[in-house]
């Protein structure tokens, strides 16, 4: 295991890894006190080299690492890749390509929904990982041998997990299934969220268009403020305060200071003035231009029963084909298929999911096939055309 804290050493290691077909990648980070994750370690493993890159020691230039991440000739293997890719995107302004997420691949290969790394290692390699360093402070130096062993194990076992899952996908002709999922993880829109869309993360507790306008303004302001100061969103303004401000619409700092969720004196800070400006900007919007409250469409009669049947069908197909139900169809997919049938524009009716589940789902709600429980098993039976009319 190579410990790298020097730019020249990193360049040599990345040159070696660039000659490999793939490289396993993991990161250790902290974000409890920051908006952007603080990168503490990078673990890399290929057929010829295992290395831990320490970006917190010296003036390490990570450019060779980012070049490796952008090398289209090397597959970047992650487990639960989203947070690792988010760090690479924020630090290096790029998204690794091509990538292979073993958590997603495991779902396609029948290892269950969102299987953890240590569970996957245990099932594939029959190795029990030591979890005692999982919640360590990765920013503290020096790191112990135990911590370093834990960190490198996140990629050395990942190599074998990758090769096992890759072989499974090829044997079952499911390589393209994974490619569809990886395209989402490789999309810039997955990570480059605009502050004006920050309100979507908040659970809706409002009922009026004006409240929604205020909430949108506050959420966008808080997002920009948290990013610029590199602090968690809650350090700027907590969610409960956003909802109370949206509902009470304080027009001045005195009214803001009377709110239950606002700390004493906060209203007279620079943030208080920004909040009042956000509220008054929403109040100035003409009534006809206020945003509409998102409301679910009224489902046709009988949709609830159809959704329950689709859930059984999904479980049946998941078990038959050894694919996690979660990756085949979401609950929203089932609701929309039950309500709209073929007109439903959902993932379960596109690509490999359509062949596996979408078409049987449509046939089920059209009455062309039925679910039957016999001999303690659920299966599908064809309904003769005359009987289905």
CATH number at residue 63: 3.30.420.10
Position 69 confidence tier, pLDDT thresholds 50, 70, 90: very high
Q: What is the residue range of 18's domain?
A: 2-190
Is the pLDDT score of 154 beyond 60? yes
Q: What percent of the chain has pLDDT over 70?
A: 98
Is the pLDDT score of 388 beyond 60? no
Q: Please tell me whether residues 84 and 121 are part of one structural domain.
A: yes
Residue 294 lies in a domain: no
pLDDT of residue 206: 84
Segment 103-113 mean pLDDT: 93
Crossing angle of helices 63-70 and 82-92, rounded to 10°: 120
pLDDT of residue 294: 80
Segment 36-55 mean pLDDT: 95
CATH number at residue 205: 1.10.150.80
> What is the C-alpha separation between 316 and 325, in angstroms, rounded?
9
Position 189 confidence tier, pLDDT thresholds 50, 70, 90: confident
Digit-coded pLDDT (tens) for 269-296: 999 999 999 999 999 999 999 999 887 6
Measuring CA to CA, how many Å separate 333 from each of 311, 329, 353?
11, 6, 11
Digit-coded pLDDT (tens) for 248-269: 999 999 999 999 999 999 999 9
Is the pLDDT score of 227 beyond 90? yes
Residue 295 lies in a domain: no
Q: Please tell me whether residues 238 and 273 are part of one structural domain.
A: yes
pLDDT of residue 134: 80
Residue 297 lies in a domain: no
Q: Please tell me whether residues 115 and 52 are part of one structural domain.
A: yes
Q: Please tell me whether residues 115 and 20 are part of one structural domain.
A: yes
Q: Please tell me whether residues 276 and 316 are part of one structural domain.
A: no
Q: What is the DSSP letter of 200?
A: G
pLDDT of residue 159: 96
Residue 328 lies in a domain: yes
> What is the C-alpha separation between 249 and 256, in angstroms, rounded?
8
Residue 236 lies in a domain: yes
Q: Hey, what are 288's tokens?
A: 């006809």
> What is the C-alpha separation between 300 and 340, in angstroms, rounded?
9
Residue 298 lies in a domain: no
Contact predicate 115/61, CB 8 Å: no
pLDDT of residue 300: 72
Contact predicate 64/46, CB 8 Å: no
Segment 37-63 mean pLDDT: 94
pLDDT of residue 386: 66
Q: Hey, what are 159's tokens?
A: 């190599």
Q: Please tell me whether residues 346 and 275 are part of one structural domain.
A: no
Q: Please tell me whether residues 242 and 331 are part of one structural domain.
A: no
Q: Residue 99: which of 88, 110, 107 has the closest Cα?
A: 88
> What is the C-alpha separation between 256 and 267, in angstroms, rounded?
6
Cα 179 to the center of its chain, rounded Å: 16
pLDDT of residue 367: 92
Contact predicate 346/336, CB 8 Å: yes
Q: Which of 141, 164, 190 is the last residue of a domain?
A: 190
What pTM did the predictor assign? 0.87
Residue 369 lies in a domain: yes
Query: Measured in Å, how far apart are the chain's first and last C-alpha atoms?
Result: 68
297 burial level (CB within 10 Å; 0-12, 13-18, 19+): exposed
Reduced to 3 states (helix: H, G, I; strand: E, B; else coil), residue 52 is strand
Q: Which of 190, 210, 227 is the last residue of a domain?
A: 190
Q: Please tell me whether residues 185 and 215 are part of one structural domain.
A: no
Digit-coded pLDDT (tens) for 110-148: 998 889 999 999 999 999 998 888 888 999 999 999 999
Q: Please tell me whether residues 170 and 21 are part of one structural domain.
A: yes
pLDDT of residue 297: 60
pLDDT of residue 132: 81
Q: Which of 139, 159, 190 is the last residue of a domain?
A: 190
Indicate the helix (H) or strand (E) that contains 107: helix 102-108
pLDDT of residue 62: 97
Q: What percent of the chain has pLDDT over 90?
A: 84
> What is the C-alpha separation between 220 and 278, in angstroms, rounded?
9
How many domains does the chain contain in total? Answer: 3
Contact predicate 226/218, CB 8 Å: no
Is the pLDDT score of 387 beyond 70? no
Q: Please tell me whether residues 182 and 199 are part of one structural domain.
A: no
Segment 187-199 mean pLDDT: 90
> What is the C-alpha separation between 113 and 329, in angstroms, rounded?
12
Q: Considering the chain, what is the average pLDDT of its residues?
A: 93
Q: Please tell me whether residues 186 and 209 are part of one structural domain.
A: no
pLDDT of residue 334: 96
pLDDT of residue 299: 65
Q: Please tell me whether residues 26 and 174 are part of one structural domain.
A: yes
- CA-only gyration radius of the chain, Å: 26
């Amino acid at each position: 295991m190579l410990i790298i804290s020097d730019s020249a050493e990193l360049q040599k290691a990345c040159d070696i890894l660039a000659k490999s077909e793939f490289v396993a990648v993991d990161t250790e980070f902290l974000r409890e006190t920051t908006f952007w994750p603080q990168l503490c370690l990078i673990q890399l493993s290929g057929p010829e080299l295992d290395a831990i890159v320490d970006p917190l020691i010296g003036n390490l230039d990570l450019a060779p690492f980012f070049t490796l991440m952008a090398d289209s000739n090397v597959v970047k293997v992650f487990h639960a890749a989203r947070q690792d890719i988010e760090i690479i995107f924020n630090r290096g302004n790029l998204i690794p390509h091509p990538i292979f997420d073993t958590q997603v691949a495991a779902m396609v290969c029948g290892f269950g929904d969102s299987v953890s790394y240590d569970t996957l290692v245990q099932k594939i390699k029959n190795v029990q990982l030591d979890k005692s360093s999982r919640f360590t402070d990765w920013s503290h130096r020096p790191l112990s041998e135990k911590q370093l062993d834990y960190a490198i194990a996140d990629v050395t076992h990942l190599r074998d997990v990758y090769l096992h899952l890759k072989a499974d996908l090829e044997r079952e002709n499911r390589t393209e299934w994974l490619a569809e999922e990886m395209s989402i993880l490789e999309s810039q829109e997955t990570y480059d969220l605009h502050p004006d869309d920050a309100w979507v993360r908040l659970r809706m507790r409002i009922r009026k268009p004006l409240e929604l306008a205020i909430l949108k303004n506050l959420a966008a302001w808080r997002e920009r403020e948290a990013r610029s100061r590199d602090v968690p969103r809650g350090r700027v303004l907590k969610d409960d305060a956003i909802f109370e401000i949206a509902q009470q619409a304080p027009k001045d700092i005195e009214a803001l200071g009377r709110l239950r969720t606002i700390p004493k004196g906060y209203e007279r800070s620079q943030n208080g003035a920004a909040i009042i400006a956000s509220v008054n900007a929403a109040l100035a919007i003409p009534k006809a231009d206020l945003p509409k409250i998102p409301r679910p469409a009224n489902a046709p009669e009988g949709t609830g029963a159809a959704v329950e049947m689709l859930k059984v069908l999904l479980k049946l197909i998941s078990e038959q084909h050894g694919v996690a139900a979660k990756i085949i169809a979401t609950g929203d997919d089932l609701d929309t298929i039950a309500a709209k049938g073929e007109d439903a524009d959902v993932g379960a009716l596109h690509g490999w999911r359509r062949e596996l589940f979408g078409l049987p789902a449509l046939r089920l709600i059209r009455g062309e096939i039925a679910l039957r429980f016999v001999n303690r098993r659920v299966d599908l039976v064809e309904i003769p055309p005359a009987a289905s009319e």
